[in-house]
Structure 1
């Protein structure tokens, strides 16, 4: 008859982690039972308990590279990159023949945009195990970031040849196709990934993005987003500030030449560029909700973001139309506040960090509040409109600090 530890391991391998915990907890003194308990807690995203067990296991046996690997993964989940690198280096020093360790470190460096170093690590992992799925997928991602499309394509073919029924591989190939600008091919792979694993969040997010990419405006935004994400932080700011300076100089020159009317479309284009990163995803979610297939890909927060921006657009249109028809100044404040709130509020539902999410949500609500209450507090409605615009401009700077 199988022991509680054996039953626990079997349940773990089946992905039934909570049931596995009950079985494994019957033998708290057994090292193997505690090791699998640690893995269960990690997969259940109970990182505090998992970390506590890693420390206990290492106190008992400090020469366990797999446990340092788990510590590195826990640190990575907590965005503690320095600790994650330290722990994975410890694991590699103990077992330099484990390809997954090099793949994991390559992933950390990929996030830091150290593409050449990451590629060397992924290649080293593949020199140990040429069929390592993790290293192959990372290599495809890194080569795409380096614009080495032919090599990325060859790697993608190898991934699918070796893992034709692996959901993660199909999802990863889908994201690579998206970055190459082929949203149709991407949809095929995301669809296959979801058929193989309907709970694959990586594939679900990709399918949602691929459907949005059918819209040429979103496709242009996505191309820009992929490009800017490849740049180092310093280069991103140089580009953004450069765009602003070119915009300011162009408006000034047009004004000096008596062509101020031509500055209007330039101003609109700049505002769309400057504010588009906050608005494009909520707008796309609102559109996606109308797609017969896309609506099933939206999670609750994405639906909220779509509803929020749709509601604000309708409010702004109605308030603006009635204002022009009646001249009631109060409606101008409501219309402008609704337009400006489209930047912070809908995007707040899509943020991962609590601080950033609450900041955008509260800030957007404050803009609306100024539009609704301001006209009753301030005599000159123009001051209210200026305050609303100032709040929007301030948000675009403060948001980058809060993030």
Structure 2
């Protein structure tokens, strides 16, 4: 869809990252022309830039309803879904944008990003190369191409792609961040730190670089480096293969108990690596400033819940307060869904399920305490504890298989 000439001020505000001011002017424009699809789309972009994802998506969908042939609106819709971790919907939207305009390298880059997030590295590489077909010097596609090549075991080609991007634009923050991720996933966390610092020097507001910096700081701990490399490897497996592998490991441990000391740390790290190591970063001045508000909140809640839960279990072991054991167990069980609910960028439906599971476990824990305090033993008390265990187990396996 051909775009009309927009006031230069609105475009300048969006390019400068001054989304709130752009939003105000776009809303004034919509008061004059409430059915202007371009204004709705640009307003959607301004809202997305302010992390108002639901409202931004609504504006973009309004634009699509008014102009179904507007390819850029589908691109923005894909961005909205991607940022809410709805990757299948994001891929469907960007494919619609490409159906309307297959020549835009930005659309191919976003498709490649989504495929990369889904572990489809060959498909992501094809998307990056398609974008480069239309713009051989598109630095974002060059950076994505490098990340795909590194994941596919072609580090020399990945380095060449990054060098090409840096030759074209040595001050591109995204390329430096891509180089940081490539180095980090290759186990070179010192080099990764340098790249991410350069990226943030060039663009202090880049979440992509900030997230990489946090990962690189956590990778200073060898156990996190090992877990990171394992995670990268499992991402290359298909969803079904990955689920089958973890289920197979669980069955194997059931028959070979000697493997339990290896299995338990893997399970523990898969659930709690982020809050644990984000908590350690809070002790580091540089790391504390690199963490987002959501990451700091998750780490603090984790440490507080573990501390209180463990203290209650210790108190129960040293005294006759059976209620302390019930409440401590409830808190530690609720820790699993609670960490999912507080995880940054988790999709809305998993977050809702996690909140519901957390509430159910805590309510049952309080009910169990009440039964203990009132000296009501027997089937009712055992039923509350049994239901807690069932909810906890269903959430664990439901999350692992989703």
Shorter-chain TM-score tier? 0.7 to 0.9
By relative contact order (CA 8 Å, sep 6+), the higher-ranking structure is: 2
Deviates more, 1:292-301 or 1:68-77: 68-77
Equivalent pair of 2:337/2:355 in contact (CA under 8 Å): yes
Which runs of structure 2 are paired with 1:2-401 in the superposition (5 Å)? 5-20=7-22, 35=38, 38-45=41-48, 46-53=56-63, 56=66, 67-78=70-81, 79=86, 80=89, 81-92=91-102, 96=103, 98-251=104-257, 263=258, 266-351=259-344, 352-377=346-371, 379-380=377-378, 386-400=386-400
CA gap of 1:166–1:40, structure 2 versus 1, over 3 A, is farther
Deviation at 1:310? 0.9
SS in 2 for 1:248: helix
Cα distance between partner residues in 2 of 1:100 and 1:5? 23
Cα distance between partner residues in 2 of 1:37 and 1:373? 50
CA gap of 1:276–1:227, structure 2 versus 1, over 3 A, is same
Output one character per residue of 1:34-62: Cα deviation in whole Å (capped at 9) or x when no partner.
7477335323322332343355456xxx5
Equivalent pair of 2:234/2:242 in contact (CA under 8 Å): yes
Deviates more, 1:118-127 or 1:199-208: 118-127
Deviates more, 1:347-356 or 1:112-121: 112-121
Q: Report the number of matched residues.
A: 374
Q: Which residue of 1 aligns with 2:52?
A: none
Equivalent pair of 1:5/1:23 in contact (CA under 8 Å): no
Larger Rg belongs to: 1
Output one character per residue of 1:191-219: Cα deviation in whole Å (capped at 9) or x when no partner.
11111121111111111111111122222
Deviation at 1:236? 0.4
SS in 1 for 2:182: helix
Cα distance between partner residues in 2 of 1:205 and 1:14? 21
Deviates more, 1:79-88 or 1:176-185: 79-88
Unaligned runs of 5+ in 1: 252-262
Output one character per residue of 1:63-118: Cα deviation in whole Å (capped at 9) or x when no partner.
xxxx41442331342242223212212211xxx4x433433333344344443343
CA gap of 1:293–1:55, structure 2 versus 1, over 3 A, is same
TM-score normalised to structure 2 length: 0.81
Cα distance between partner residues in 1 of 2:293 and 2:24? 32
CA gap of 1:320–1:35, structure 2 versus 1, over 3 A, is closer
Cα distance between partner residues in 2 of 1:232 and 1:272? 23
Equivalent pair of 2:128/2:142 in contact (CA under 8 Å): yes
Equivalent pair of 2:132/2:138 in contact (CA under 8 Å): yes
Cα distance between partner residues in 2 of 1:334 and 1:325? 15
Equivalent pair of 2:10/2:25 in contact (CA under 8 Å): yes
Deviates more, 1:123-132 or 1:171-180: 123-132
* Aligned Cα root-mean-square deviation (Å): 3.0
Output one character per residue of 1:275-302: Cα deviation in whole Å (capped at 9) or x when no partner.
4322111112221212221111222222
CA gap of 1:296–1:14, structure 2 versus 1, over 3 A, is closer
Cα distance between partner residues in 2 of 1:18 and 1:309? 34
Cα distance between partner residues in 2 of 1:55 and 1:358? 28
